Amino acid sequence: MLGAGIIGATIAEALAQRGADVAVLDMRGPNRGASQASAGMLTPYIEGEADSPLLNLCVRSLSLYDSFVARLLEVSRGGIEYARTGTLEIALDDDGVAKLLGNKVWLDTIGVESEWLDGNAVRSFEPSITPAAHGGLLTLDHGLVGVTSLMNALVHQARLAGATFEFPVEVHTVAQVGDRVEVTSVDRTWTGDAAVIAGGSWSRRVRIPGVPSLPVRPVRGQLLHLQWCEGDQPGRICWGPHCYAVPWSDGTVLVGATMEEVGFDEGTTVAGVNTLTSAAIELLPHATGARLDAIRVGLRPMLPDELPAIGPFAAAPRIVAATGHYRNGVLLAPLTAELVTGYLLDNVRDDLFEITTPDRFAKMEGGSA
Ligand code: GLY
């Protein structure tokens, strides 16, 4: 397994539970890339457009979440924060109202429970929201998960089941040789029955002989970690025109996120903080009195069609991609693990591989073998 973020850890845990001998290699260690910055939102009906393949993937993965977390909670020492408290999307003008009412019609059509709140109803239901709100759409199925606690439980469980985590390891080549794979870093080679590329934005740096490199690009997200000090903390994820705010039981609120194409720069910027603080105050006026505890940064791994690459490479079927999850790595982790585990251990090629195959980019300009 190449990568110890949420995708690599979830797959490693699932494989190890089934008795596979798993080594997880990472250039920094568990939860050090995009996952540590994630706000942990489980929000398919906001992230995925109507009838889109992304929506289909996200809804299927969300349906796995209750049992995924429940199973890990049985053994987790520190607990895992997980709540299906819904999302409240807020409109601050008439155009926003029209857009959200259009979304409500769509959700009604596909049988997803939602509720429209006018401005007064928003203010009594969620007093932290700006009095300028024109209305809000409550989508009840949505939720949130604490990513650090989830990662801790996954790594703990994977280790108990026999998986090893090795870092810092920078793999440069993964090659299929007959029915085996060879994974090579500067000073070592590992051999095994299969390899999974789950390196997020860094997946492109791994060379697979005979296979074009995956065109993954990093998209930086900065988030503010606020300690709420004045007024009511929001009771659920609130999503405004320019930011989202995710409340946690420890009294903190994560506000995100910027979308920046700046290569592998994981730095924070005044402009990013300025944009997010303004957006937070616009949505939640009491954010003015919050303490700024930290600025988080993650590089979302984006593929050209904004869908993940999950599945084997046709030219090297013992090498499996599990990368490019872009804005939804945490949400898509259980489904990704189910698909990869099914393929590697039960020889199941899920129909979803037709959409998520990593080979779909092979003919793109710039792909190099
Ligand atoms: N899923 C939210 C984000 O990537 O900012």
Query: HEC states along the chain?
Result: CECCCHHHHHHHHHHHHCCCCCEEECCCCCCCCHHHHCCCEECHHHHCCCCCHHHHHHHHHHHHHHHHHHHHHCCCCCCCCEECCCEEEEECCHHHHHHHHHHHHHHHHCCCCEEEEEHHHHHHHCCCCCCCCCEEEEECCCEEECHHHHHHHHHHHHHHCCCEEECCCCEEEEEEECCEEEEEECCCEEEECCEEECCHHHHHHCEECCECCCCCEEEEEEEEEEECCCCCCCCCEEECCCCEEEECCCCEEEEECCCECECECCCCCHHHHHHHHHHHHHHCHHHHHCEEEEEEEEEEEECCCCCCEEEEECCEEEEEEEECCHHHHHHHHHHHHHHHHHHHHHCCCCCCHHHHCHHHHCCCCCCCC
Residues 6+ apart with CB under 8 A from 276: 222, 223, 224, 243, 255, 256, 257, 258
298 CB-contact burial (10 Å; exposed 0-12 / middle 13-18 / buried 19+): buried
To test the pocket of ligand 1, the residue of 61, 144, 327, 332 to mutate (highest count of ligand atoms within 8 Å of its CB) is: 327
pLDDT range class, residue 75, cuts 50, 70, 90 = confident
Question: Residue with the nearest Cα to atom 5 of ligand 1?
Answer: 257
Pinpoint the residues of the chain covered by CATH 3.50.50.60: 6-77+147-216+305-361
Residue 367 has pLDDT above 90, yes or no: no
Q: Which of 226, 117, 156, 110 is nearest to 4 (CA)?
A: 156
Residue 149 has pLDDT above 70, yes or no: yes
Cα-to-centroid distance, 42 and ligand 1 (Å): 10
Mean pLDDT of the chain: 96
Q: What is the pLDDT of residues 286-336, one digit of tens each?
A: 999 999 999 999 999 999 999 999 999 999 999 999 999 999 999 999 999
Atom of ligand 1 nearest to the CA of 47: 1
In whole angstroms, give the CA distance from residue 322 to residue 197. Answer: 6
Q: Six-digit token pair at 295?
A: 């600025």
pLDDT the model gives residue 76: 74
Cα-to-centroid distance, 257 and ligand 1 (Å): 6
pLDDT range class, residue 163, cuts 50, 70, 90 = very high
How confident is the model over 65-89, as a mean pLDDT? 93
Cα-to-centroid distance, 137 and ligand 1 (Å): 19
Question: Residue with the nearest Cα to atom 2 of ligand 1?
Answer: 327
Atom of ligand 1 nearest to the CA of 257: 5
Question: Residue with the nearest Cα to atom 1 of ligand 1?
Answer: 327
What number of other Cβ atoms are within 10 A of residue 46's Cβ?
A: 18
Q: Which of 356, 328, 359 is nearest to 342 (CA)?
A: 356
Question: Residue with the nearest Cα to atom 4 of ligand 1?
Answer: 327
How confident is the model over 39-45, as a mean pLDDT? 98
Atom of ligand 1 nearest to the CA of 221: 5
Q: What percent of the chain has pLDDT over 70?
A: 98
pLDDT the model gives residue 368: 46
pLDDT the model gives residue 366: 47
pLDDT the model gives residue 364: 67
How confident is the model over 108-116, as a mean pLDDT? 98
Pinpoint the residues of the chain covered by CATH 3.30.9.10: 85-142+218-301
pLDDT range class, residue 55, cuts 50, 70, 90 = very high
Of 68-82, 161-175, 199-213, the one with minimum mean pLDDT is: 68-82
Please, what's the largest Cα pairwise distance for the chain? Answer: 67
Residue 282 has pLDDT above 50, yes or no: yes
Name all residues whose Cβ lies below 6 A of ligand 1: 41, 221, 256-257, 300, 327
Model-wide pTM > 0.85: yes
Q: Does domain 85-142+218-301 have CATH number 3.40.640.10?
A: no
Angle at 190 between CA 312 and CA 357, to 5 degrees: 10
pLDDT the model gives residue 273: 98
pLDDT the model gives residue 249: 95
To test the pocket of ligand 1, the residue of 36, 41, 61, 142 to mutate (highest count of ligand atoms within 8 Å of its CB) is: 41
Atom of ligand 1 nearest to the CA of 326: 4
Q: Which of 214, 215, 212 is nearest to 315 (CA)?
A: 212
To test the pocket of ligand 1, the residue of 224, 225, 244 to mutate (highest count of ligand atoms within 8 Å of its CB) is: 244
Cα-to-centroid distance, 280 and ligand 1 (Å): 15
**Location of structure tokens 């944009």:** 275
User: Selecting from 3.40.50.300, 3.20.20.370, 3.50.50.60, 2.30.42.10, what CATH number does the domain 6-77+147-216+305-361 have?
Assistant: 3.50.50.60
